[in-house]
Structure 1
Amino acid sequence: MTGGLQIIGLDEVIAKRNGSVDPAKFPSEVFELLSIPAFDSGLPQITVGAEIRSTKQVVQEGDVLLSKIVPHIRRAWVVKPTTNHRLIASGEWIVFRDSRFEPGYLRHLLTADRFHRQFMQTVSGIGGSLLRARPAEVAKIKVVLPPKKDQRRIAAILDKADSLRRKRQDAIRLADEFLRAVFIDMFGDPETNPKSFDKGTIRDLVSSANYGTSEKASEQIGQFPILRMNNITYKGGWDFSSLKYVDLDEASAHKYLAQKGDLLFNRTNSKELVGKTAVYMRDEPMAIAGYLVRVRMNEHGNSHYVSGYLNSKHGKRTLEARAKSIVGMANINAQEMQDIPLLLPPIDLQDKYAGIVDAVQKRLKKHHAFGREADAINAALSEKFFGYIGEKVEELC
């Protein structure tokens, strides 16, 4: 111990015997499911066992969950029950449990820059965005354990800074809920087709569907930024905070650049995340990586309508049912994506929906700018606390 600080190995903190459950064996039981997709809403999914397709971890109040998937690393979640139902979490979380840590402090510690740099040294996989942290290696990381009163003080200050980011997330969540409601109001439930639209497949609305480039990307140098699977959010938005760069000749540029209005589809990812879809709406072109499909519509289709469907609850269930598992990952290729059935409303109605989406996204731009400022404030405060503590321990050890 040094000045009230202890150095703790995470092997003492990672939950080793938290158990598991196959919810499908309890089809009518209601569970609280903390999944990677649910993280952005800040609330677990309340759902029956019959709707949950794989074995999950059993977690408990006060646990801290850290995502081990590279596109979603730096997501930490304190388990706080919202119902009396059983608490379960997907296998993409590493579960931390130790009464010596205040959960709020531990959450901030696990997302701080100092810890993140060590955490990223533990990842492995088949490359790129399919990397995952290895819990056995994460367990070797040493962290700082201050007295409980100091943990509470640090957590309280960082929580206040974090609240600025949550306001931005709330605005995005409300916009997403609004657009989902607009989609159902304009096109009806895809399952029951109450408006009696013609039925078909995505292929009926597509003029071309192409895979992205396999060219190796650079962290800093290249002619074009390249979009990867981590740049598309689960709910159909964009995250441009982590970009790489690539050079393309004239012929390759024609094949591999995304233009404004293109629909991009994530063909390979984890079972929960495969099929992420968003419409690219920037004026400047960007390259697309090989795990994405660039889809362009014909005169009968609008990319915002197709994206709205694939991001709807019905669309997500369809994607999960059609995904094929390969070596721990899931895949839906370009042909299989185009074979997905959907309703074929008139193009003028699709265009009207696209206009509403565009108006909402323009209103959200100021929230994104505000969010970047909030991120900078939070990062500075986090480095002040965890950087200073770490430096002092290193000096005195």
Structure 2
Amino acid sequence: MSGAIVRLRDVVEINPGMRVGDVLEKEVCFVAMADVSEAGRITNFQTRPLLEVSKGYTSFCQGDVLLAKITPCFENGKAAVVDRLASSVGFGSTEFHVLRPSDEINGRFLFHLIWNPLFRRLGAKRMTGSAGQKRVPTAFLAEYEFQLPPLAEQKRIATILDKADGLRRKRLKAIRLADEFLRAVFIDMFGDPVSNPKAWKVKSLADLGSLDRGVSKHRPRNDPSLLGGSHPLIQTGEVANCDGYIRTYTSTYSDKGLDQSKLWPAGTLCITIAANIAKTGILLFPACFPDSVVGFTASETATVEYVRFWLSFLQKTLEANAPESAQKNINLAILRNLQVPVPPIDLIRKFAAVVSATESIRVAQRKSVQEGLLLSASLQHELLA
């Protein structure tokens, strides 16, 4: 890429102000931090009275670029071009920087410039403030230097990067559709798991297999002598954030750590019972986990795939009704006593086969998504460097 070296402040108005008296509407669009995705999109425009948001919030206009300033939102890529704005001006979280492009810089080019991983790494190093409240300072944005090609070249670069990002989104959508497909298959084969319209026999979850909490006897749990060995250790968050199968781990136990824990076999269904309630994932390798996770291994009357999908329909209800002290949790007795419709095992195994076949497709889709991410990163480096 060729072009003049400029600072961001040379071609962008940073956090421009506005006069509320110039706004004619009584209601305006509002964007909270939660309304901006890490995928670089505004997912929702709220509508709020102008008098409610005209003071104490950040204002912006159509075509501006919103950039989260606070950790971890900045590092995670919460940024977006403001499009589809239904009012003459919008308001949003005070944790947004607003970048207004001049006639010299294309808005989509500006977005990709501040959304790419290099910019985020540099910005993270310049953050100021205390832990958990660190923010990217305006000065970093103002002084950020980059090559500014001619407008026609900017538009070409932005189009290429938009297409690469669009391809990645389509691949992610295909993975989500696979999840929806399996839920639809479950309903078609077994009926609603709550109302049980097909009148299957009902058994307690404890009758369908072995159900026990993970083990971590030693205190403190983070004793360095317990960690750093060769035995995988799964945490609650890794269960909650998996997509049905636990493929990776970030912590390990030493032999001493294993001695005070329990190693669960591959194929175990992990169920969270604290903080994140009834989130599930099937282990693809032997692993230990703490007592905030329950392990379920199926008997001959069920499969872990059937139980996982059955629980997914109940998850929100279980979470909403969970007792809460310092944090929400459910105990082992609640899980063991859950009443499960039990269709014939041949039908359950047929569903497990559909899940397995679909998972093979999703593995290929996830690989494609990763390849897309690498392609996008490579293009960003090549086109924006």
- Is the TM-score greater than 0.5? yes
Structure 2: any 5+ residue segments left out of the alignment? Answer: 18-29, 46-57, 87-92
The offset of 1:159, in angstroms, is: 2.5
Which of 225, 230, 245 is the aligned partner of 1:223? 230
Shift of 1:256: 3.9
CA contact (8 A) 2:215 2:260 kept: no
Separation in 2 of the partners of 1:69 and 1:303? Answer: 38
Query: Which residue is 1:377 aligned to?
Result: 375
Conservation of the 8 A alpha-carbon contact between 1:302 and 1:347: no
Alpha-carbon separation, structure 1, partners of 2:382 and 2:126: 23
Partner of 1:137: 135
What's 1:346 paired with?
A: 343
User: Which one-letter code corresponds to 2:304 in the other structure?
Assistant: S
Letter in 1 for 2:317: T
User: How many angstroms apart in 2 are the aligned matches of 1:372 and 1:120?
Assistant: 26
CA shift at 1:210, angstroms? 1.9
Tell me the distance in 1 between the aligned counterparts of 2:355 and 2:61: 39
Structure 1 residues 109, 248: closer, same or farther in 2, change over 3 A? same
Q: Deviations over 1:54-89 (max 9, x none)?
A: xxx9999776576989799635464788998xxxxx
Give distance in 2, aligned partners of 1:306 and 1:152.
Answer: 50
**Hey, what does 1:21 align to over in structure 2?**
none
| Residue pairs, 1:110-189, within 5 angstroms | 110=115, 112-116=117-121, 118-119=123-124, 133-134=132-133, 136-139=134-137, 142-143=140-141, 144=144, 149=151, 152-189=155-192
> What pairs up with 1:284-299 in 2 under 5 angstroms?
284-288=285-289, 291-299=292-300
Residue pair 1:268, 1:331 contacting (<8 A) in 2 also: yes
1:275-324 per-position Cα deviation (integer Å, ceiling 9, x unaligned): 431222x2x42343565433333444422122112333xx2421431345
Distance in 2 between the 1:287 and 1:372 partners? 28
Q: Could you say which residue in structure 2 is the equivalent of 1:22? A: none
Residue number among 255, 258, 262 corresponding to 1:252 in the alignment: 258
% same residue: 23
Instruction: Give 1:266's aligned residue.
Output: 272
Partner residue, 1:237 = 244
Q: Is the 8 A contact 2:129 2:135 kept in 1?
A: no
1:369 positional shift: 2.5
Per the TM alignment, residue 174 of structure 1 is displaced from its structure 2 partner at its CA by 1.7
Shift of 1:229: 4.2
Match of 1:332 in 2: 329
Deviation at 1:181, TM superposition (A): 0.3
* Counterpart secondary structure, 1:137: coil
2:71–2:135 contact (8 Å) kept in structure 1: no
- Distance in 2 of aligned mates of 1:193 and 1:83: 45
After superposition, give the CA deviation of every residue in 1:108-163 in whole Å (9 maximum; x if it has no partner).
634514514754897999xxxxxx953x4345782447669476554333223333
8 Å contact kept, 1:302–1:354: yes
Aligned-partner residue type, residue 228 of structure 1? Q
CA offset at residue 379 of structure 1? 2.3
**Cα deviations across residues 243-277 of structure 1 (Å, max 9, x unaligned)?**
424233288269443422111223444xxx65431
Check if 1:311 corresponds to 2:318.
Answer: no
For residues 141 and 326 of structure 1, what CA distance do their matches in structure 2 show? Answer: 43
Following the alignment from structure 2 to structure 1, what is the Cα–Cα distance between the partners of residues 204 and 112? 44
Contact 1:65-1:95 at 8 Å conserved across structures: yes
Label 1:331 to 1:362 Cα distance change in 2 as closer, same or farther (>3 A): same
List gaps (5 residues or longer) in structure 1: 16-30, 47-56, 85-90, 126-131, 389-397
Please, what TM-score do these two structures have when normalized by structure 2? 0.64
Greater radius of gyration (CA): 2
Q: State the SS of the aligned residue for 2:100.
A: coil
